[in-house]
Structure 1
Amino acid sequence: MSKHVSVTKHDGVATVVIDNPPMNVLSNQVLTGLDDVFGQLETDDEVITIILTGAGDRAFMAGADIKEFLDEDVNQEAKDTHGVLNRIAAIPKPTIVLLNGFTLGGGLELALTCDLRIAEDHVQIGLPEVNLGLLPGGGGTQRLPKEIGIAKAKELMFTGSHISADEAYNIGIVNQVVKKSEGKEAANQLAHKVAGNSLQSLSRIKQLINNTEQVSLHEGLQQEKAAFKALFATQDSQEGIQAFIEKRKPEFNHR
């Protein structure tokens, strides 16, 4: 386990914390730590939902470690970053990111790999790479337009400006905005609500939604039909249906 990335587990929810003071930048060590932790959580049967956040309240992640750019092969660095972030985006479990401070550059790109995003109201969000003569190299040019539309994404990347948590909510980057210091409770409540459902259902829903941009509507509907049929062969679907008939809360075993 990386000294900069830790994980705790409780009632089906894993909380991953990035701790790289003072601003939790995305260094090679952090990237490796995230890769290791999410690789373990993917196959951990005890974990249904994952929360990702940063230590402290100054920054979720204030970008990449710029100093490392001087020492690393940039093309290789970009390739490694894409590989790790793609694996986080594709993990077959719902992910929730809590933005509890500056979320800039690589921090926003990391946040965009998560399924749901909660921001505390003091958060500043942006992709400022253009101010360094660079561009977002961790997927920002591809993921952000899909979330908020091409024109607004171009505006944020062309100007390198920071926006507030409220504006991020208004344009669709985040799902919720909560008061400072209340983010952890909000994330936990949401995570445990999601974790109360069957992972058999959750993982298929995530995969189908993520595939919508790669397949036609016809193919997507065929995939949905096949996934719906496959769910009927699971223990959880039988438990869910029986619990509904008996008017009780289902007890899913995620099989």
Structure 2
Amino acid sequence: MTKIVHPAQRLLAEPDGFRVEFKEADSRADIVFDRPPFNIVSMLQRDQLRAVFEALDDDPKVRVIVVRAVGEHFSSGGDIKGFIEASPEHVSKLAWNIAAPARCSKPVIAENRGYCFGVGFELSLACDFRIATETTLYALPEQKLGQIPGSGGSARLQKMVGIGRTKDIVMRSRRITGEQAYNWGIATELVADAELESATDSLVRELLAFSPLAQRTAKKLLNDTEDAPLSIAIELEGHSYSRLRSSNDFREGVEAFHEKRKAVFNGS
């Protein structure tokens, strides 16, 4: 009898250019790009990354997800040859795959050093936090190929820094440093290169101290109201606040505050 293998199992049977490390004691999962020296992202890898984010989002043991890379560079971008070989239908899904960190209900941290180009930049922009160093260079270089960013890069960047700065980066294929990215609000933290891992560890510990329910609610609310009129955003914020008032975590937080002790949240 032939064993039937689900497509999802085949998709993740052999991760292409990355691995997943799970630290149960830290409630942390790391997606590690491992195709040095430049960690080029293949077309298959994009599909696999989406599936991995979805799987980690469903795992109650995972509280925080970190995306990092082996070597001196986060990623120099995508496999150029793969774009020519891929079908139009497959290419149309690029942005959906790379938006997986944003759809994920849990906090996602991008650990960026060295080159962070093309899809490497776009994936980082879809994360909640980007930690950069003095070695980091961000760029969307698609104009050099006669193309434009195709995985949400220009759209997300414009939301963050405005149309003028986005045109400057996209239309000139301009590289910007980690320091400039931090000053513009693209990177959420700037540290010395030798301190990148410890800065990530510190942020993970900080996020784990909060209520996972409140974290998920905050992320979804902020994502859902990014384009909403102020009145609608305030209305949705009020509804979310009201729902959290009946949670065990909120009760625990209030009691811990009055008892002058550290709150212990369970996500309910």
TM-score (norm 2): 0.90
4+ aligned runs moved over 4 Å, structure 1: none
Give the percent of matched residue pairs that are identical in Structure 1 and Structure 2: 33
Q: Is it true that 1:12 corresponds to 2:27 in the alignment?
A: yes
Q: Cα deviation per residue 1:31-88 (whole Å; 9 max; x = unaligned)?
A: 122122111111111112111111112x211111001122112x32332211112232
Maintained 8 Å contact 1:60/1:99: yes
The residue aligned with 2:124 is: 111
Maintained 8 Å contact 2:133/2:179: no
Q: Which moved more, 1:81-90 or 1:91-100?
A: 81-90
Q: Cα deviation per residue 1:79-107 (whole Å; 9 max; x = unaligned)?
A: 22111122321211111100022001111
| Aligned pairs for 1:8-157 within 5 A | 8-10=21-23, 11-57=26-72, 59-73=73-87, 75-157=88-170
Q: Which amino acid aligns with 1:175?
A: T
Structure 1, gaps ≥5 residues long: none
Maintained 8 Å contact 1:85/1:113: yes
In 2, distance between residues paired with 1:213 and 1:224?
Answer: 12
Structure showing greater relative contact order (alpha-carbon pairs closer than 8 Å, 6 or more residues apart): 1
Quote the RMSD (CA, aligned, Å). 1.4
In 1, distance between residues paired with 2:91 and 2:84?
Answer: 14
| Aligned pairs for 1:161-240 within 5 A | 161-240=174-253
In 2, distance between residues paired with 1:135 and 1:3?
Answer: 25
Displacement after TM superposition at 1:3 (Å): 4.4
In 2, distance between residues paired with 1:209 and 1:77?
Answer: 29
Q: Cα deviation per residue 1:142-169 (whole Å; 9 max; x = unaligned)?
A: 1001111110000111110211111111
Q: Which moved more, 1:241-250 or 1:2-11?
A: 2-11
How many residue pairs match? The answer is: 253
Structure 2, gaps ≥5 residues long: 1-11
TM-score (norm 1): 0.94
In 2, distance between residues paired with 1:213 and 1:250?
Answer: 30
The alignment partner of 2:99 has SS state of: helix
Maintained 8 Å contact 1:4/1:29: no
